[in-house]
Amino acid sequence: MTDTTFWTYPPDQEVRGHGDDYTLTLLLPPFPAGTVNFSPHDPEKARHFAENFDTVDEILEELPPVSAGDFLPLEARADLDLIKVGCWGDVISLTDPALADTIGDLPLLGAATTLRERYPDARIVGSANVDRGEDHTEDIIQLPDGLTLHTEGWPGVEPLEVTGDPQAVVRALGISPETLAKESIDLDEESDEIDWRTLGRLALGPGDPWGRADLPMSVFRVRHTSTSTYRMKEAWFSNR
């Protein structure tokens, strides 16, 4: 099934550019400090999470599961309708191309803010990019106490817009200067030179599921909302 209500492009229309990350992850307390034994994936919970996600209008089809280490294809318009969701106890993760943006809508911030209302005690970490010759990125770290770090813009073109205090977030997470140095993260650099995505992975710590071949995830073909579909038209098909 590939028909959707809001698309004006055929399912086999080739996408422009590429993206390798458009993810959101929630860690629910207690937050892990050491090795994490992930609970078995819960497909029913994954479906419920997908049905209520900001960008999704309706689930059209459930496909065979993949792992958190697998990349879904992103070559044609129909591929943009695929999302994957993993629910492993206190860790919930999602990938969705609708989180990538080039028009300043800040979909990652919007989705994280909505999830904060549903999961007020969660640590929420997200990252999204789309490369159209120039890379647009959006990253977010939200902590239960209200601390939020959000960045957005075009690295290598101009400084990113940064909202929040990176140093305060790092201190709250207990990330050491040595760990930052090991990952080549210097928070005194210009904002477009800092690897915010890697900082988000550090915020997930041992609860980071991405790249793990042993963690299954549900895959859904969805109809995105009209707003999300318009955003994807601009991000993946416009002549920008």
Q: What does the pLDDT profile of the chain (240 residues) look like in tens digits?
A: 445 579 999 999 999 878 879 999 999 999 887 788 899 999 999 999 999 999 999 999 999 999 999 999 999 999 999 999 999 999 999 999 999 999 999 999 999 999 999 999 999 999 999 998 889 999 999 999 889 999 999 998 889 999 999 999 999 999 999 999 999 999 999 999 999 999 999 999 999 999 999 999 999 999 999 999 999 999 999 876
Q: Looking at residue 1, what is its pLDDT?
A: 43
Per DSSP bridges, beta strands 82-88 and 91-95 are antiparallel
Residue 2's pLDDT is 47
Q: What is the pLDDT of residue 179?
A: 96
22-27 and 123-131 strand pairing:
antiparallel
Whole-angstrom Cα distance, residue 181 to residue 176? 9
The CA distance from 203 to 30, in Å, is 14
Predicted local distance difference test score (pLDDT) of residue 17: 77
pLDDT at 240: 60
